[in-house]
């Protein structure tokens, strides 16, 4: 146990700490970015959506590229460090912006950094974990990540309103300092390599995946089309809070619930198997959308908690499952591909759901989401049966 901290291997702990500091910094800054753009730089509302949509599309493309790059050179840490460094430098440069297009450029570079680091970091996390504790390790990491996402906006709110007199740029500098701690923490992280020769074929090719994994990837892509982005889903609370004054409180409820469930579900997946917990995750996601269809405030809040349970059942565990079912030389490539398809699906599904919501109401959006996630569950069950 001397090589463990809080019940996980040292490398897992310090990688989790990296993510906590980084999300603390990122969420502190980007939780106020819409207000900064509109209030300080007079950005039109369409620009805020355009900025995040473009950024999300780019990060998902880079996840595949960085995963392949990491596998090709059989190196993880260097790409993760480079990605975190790029993102943190862009936050520092926000102090000097005076136009919306400067923010746009920096946000794109920031997302390139995220796309570069995510797949190699997840591969390093996988290789740093005991095989019998993979799900526990991944959910421990995701929980620390979420803790940072909770604390960042909270501290940012208090600093901005009570100490910085709504000086956004001073907050950006403060957030950058916290982000620098993430990079420093890598001093304690050891790189891990798989004992295989460098794969000479750099170009990405779906042929590297078995039929089972192709179906698995398809199931998550279709699932993500119906599993709308959290920011959109939480707008369902308008029936409780029409002014959206307490919108951050519902974010807090979701994130806190996720942290609580993540530790338990990680251990459960290690005992019962990833497949069973993933199925539970799909079922609870569908159940949460049924709760959102009912016009009872208490059930809407319950739906948020159930949705958090579903994400805790899926987020890290889906990465462990694919890691166990691909050749080690394609570890980061497969994890990057899965994350990329999930992100692209959420972008497309969220855009369509938002349009339908605006035109016809939330009932139609959530109903379509239920149908898509139900189809994805059938495909997931099919993929899990192959060679089972």
Model confidence at 195: pLDDT above 80: no
Model confidence at 189: pLDDT above 70: yes
Beta bridge pairs of residue 9 = 4
CATH class of 1-186: mainly alpha
Q: Tokens 């338990």 belong to which residue?
A: 264
CATH architecture of the domain with residue range 208-388:
Up-down Bundle (1.20)
Under DSSP, the state recorded for 84 is H
The token duo for 11 is: 């490398």
Give helix 274-292 / helix 317-324 axis angle, nearest 10°: 150
HEC assignment per residue over 287-326: HHHHHHCCCCHHHHHHHHHHHHHHHHHHCCHHHHHHHHCC
Which is it for the CA torsion 243, 56, 150, 177, positive or negative? negative
Q: What is the spatial distance between Cα 182 and Cα 87, in angstroms, rounded to a whole number?
A: 11
**Per-residue pLDDT, 160:** 86
Alpha-carbon separation of residue 113 from 33, 106, 107, 343, 374 (angstroms): 18, 11, 10, 16, 34
Number of other residues whose CB lies within 10 A of the CB of residue 385: 11
The lowest-confidence range among 39-48, 251-260, 319-328 is 39-48
Residue 248: φ, ψ to 5°: -60, -30
What's the angle, vertex CA 217, arms to CA 216 and CA 219, rounded to 5?
Answer: 65
Number of other residues whose CB lies within 10 A of the CB of residue 210: 15
Model confidence at 200: pLDDT above 70: no
**Per-residue pLDDT, 239:** 87
HEC assignment per residue over 176-194: HHHHHHHHHHHHHCCCCCC
Total residue length of the chain: 388
Is the pTM of the predicted complex or chain greater than 0.75?
yes
Report the mean per-residue pLDDT for the chain: 90
Q: Please check whether the two domains, 1-186 and 208-388, share a CATH topology.
A: yes
Residue of 206, 149, 199 whose CA lies nearest to 20:
149
Residue 27: φ, ψ to 5°: -70, -30
In the chain, where the domains are located: 1-186, 208-388
Model confidence at 128: pLDDT above 70: yes
Condensed to tens digits (0 to 9), the pLDDT of residues 232-290 reads 888 898 888 887 667 778 888 998 999 999 999 999 999 999 999 999 999 999 999 99
Give helix 331-360 / helix 362-385 axis angle, nearest 10°: 150
Under DSSP, the state recorded for 9 is E
Kindly state the average pLDDT of the residues 61-68. 83
Query: Residue 11: how many CA atoms within 13 Å on its side-chain side?
Result: 17
Model confidence at 2: pLDDT above 70: no
Q: What is the spatial distance between Cα 69 and Cα 340, in angstroms, rounded to a whole number?
A: 15
Which regions of the chain does DSSP assign to beta strands (E)? 4-5, 8-9
The lowest-confidence range among 142-146, 305-309, 324-328 is 324-328
The token duo for 293 is: 């269809």
Q: Provide the pLDDT confidence category of residue 43 given band limits of 50, 70 and 90.
A: confident
Model confidence at 103: pLDDT above 80: yes
């Amino acid at each position: 146990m001397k090589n463990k901290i809080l019940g996980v291997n040292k490398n897992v702990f310090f990688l989790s700490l990296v993510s906590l500091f980084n999300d603390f910094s990122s969420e502190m800054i980007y939780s106020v970015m819409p207000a900064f753009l509109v209030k300080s730089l007079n950005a039109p509302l369409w620009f805020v959506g355009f900025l995040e949509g473009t950024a999300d599309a780019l990060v998902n493309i880079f996840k595949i590229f960085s995963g392949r790059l990491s596998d090709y050179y059989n190196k993880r840490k260097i790409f993760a460090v480079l990605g975190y460094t790029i993102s943190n430098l862009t936050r520092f440069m926000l102090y000097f912006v005076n136009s919306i297009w400067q923010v746009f450029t920096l946000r794109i570079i920031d997302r390139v950094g995220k796309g570069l680091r995510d797949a190699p970091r997840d591969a390093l996390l996988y290789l740093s974990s005991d095989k019998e504790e993979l799900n526990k390790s991944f959910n421990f990491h995701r929980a620390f990540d979420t803790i940072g996402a909770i604390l960042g906006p909270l501290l940012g709110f208090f600093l901005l309103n009570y100490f910085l007199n709504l000086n956004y740029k001073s907050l950006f500098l403060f957030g950058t300092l916290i982000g620098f701690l993430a990079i420093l923490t890598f001093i304690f992280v050891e790189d891990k390599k798989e004992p295989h020769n460098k794969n000479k074929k750099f170009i990405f090719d779906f042929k590297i995946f078995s039929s089972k994994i192709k179906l698995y990837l398809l199931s998550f892509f279709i699932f993500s089309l119906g599993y709308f982005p959290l920011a959109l889903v939480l707008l369902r609370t308008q029936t409780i809070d029409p002014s959206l004054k307490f919108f951050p409180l519902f974010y807090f409820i979701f994130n806190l619930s996720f942290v609580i469930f993540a530790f338990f579900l990680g251990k459960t997946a290690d005992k019962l198997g990833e497949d069973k917990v993933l199925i539970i995750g799909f079922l609870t996601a569908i159940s949460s959308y049924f709760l959102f269809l009912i016009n009872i405030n208490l059930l809407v809040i319950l739906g948020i908690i159930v949705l958090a349970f579903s994400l805790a059942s899926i987020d890290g565990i889906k990465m462990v499952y694919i890691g166990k079912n691909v050749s080690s030389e394609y570890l980061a490539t497969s994890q990057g591909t899965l994350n990329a398809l999930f992100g692209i699906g959420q972008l497309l599904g969220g855009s369509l759901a938002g349009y339908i919501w605006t035109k016809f109401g939330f009932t139609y959006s959530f109903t379509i989401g239920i149908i898509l996630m139900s189809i994805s569950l059938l495909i997931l069950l099919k993929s899990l049966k192959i060679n089972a």
